Amino acid sequence: MTIKKKRASRKPRVARPRNAGTMTESAFWSFIRSALRQKSRFWKPILQCKLAARRPYKGPNKRQKYEYLCNECGKWYQEKKINVDHICPAGSLNCAQDLPGFVERLFCEVDNLQVLCEKCHDVKTKSEKNGKG
């Protein structure tokens, strides 16, 4: 008689129904999410929002031409320290049902956008995540 090895109780394998059997459902949706976010970098209202918050910089750094006003703390920052924030956040994209709302909110007009500094943006993002949990 052959002794059957008792299988270690493994977690059931995650199904990979997407992309020729190579992608899980959640990998697929994060792939779509990042593709859409990439496109939003060239969305004109985002550029509009940045231009509206900008003024010529007159400080000691010769290579800095402009500075940007944070809509939350009211201080001025260099370009790499600011984010264009969705006032009403684009939210999660985890399934097909999320898609229409996500696209509508991500590709919004300038009235739903604001410039925030890194600090204020962090605070807002964290409070949004906590609010959902």
Alpha carbons 118 and 102: distance in angstroms, whole number: 23
Residues near 26 by beta carbon (within 8 Å), at least 6 away in sequence:
94
Q: Which is nearer to Zn ion, 25 or 72 (CB)?
A: 72
Which residue, among 131, 128, 33, has the nearest Cα to 85 in the 3D structure? 128
Do 67 and 76 meet the contact criterion of CB atoms below 8 Å apart? Answer: yes
H or E element in which residue 68 lies: strand 66-69
118 binds Zn ion per the rule CB under 5 A: no
115 binds Zn ion per the rule CB under 5 A: no
Residues 23-82 that bind Zn ion (CB under 5 A): 70, 72-73
Question: Could you give the 3-state DSSP secondary structure of residue 109?
Answer: coil
Question: Could you give the 3-state DSSP secondary structure of residue 113?
Answer: strand
Residues 84-103 that bind Zn ion (CB under 5 A): none
**Span from 32-40, 43-51, 111-119, 125-133 in contact with Zn ion (CB under 5 A):** 111-119
Q: Which is nearer to Zn ion, 73 or 87 (CB)?
A: 73
**Span from 3-11, 12-20, 84-92, 112-120 in contact with Zn ion (CB under 5 A):** 112-120
**Total site size for Zn ion, rule CB under 5 A:** 5
Q: Which is nearer to Zn ion, 29 or 114 (CB)?
A: 114
Residues that bind Zn ion (CB under 5 A): 70, 72-73, 117, 120
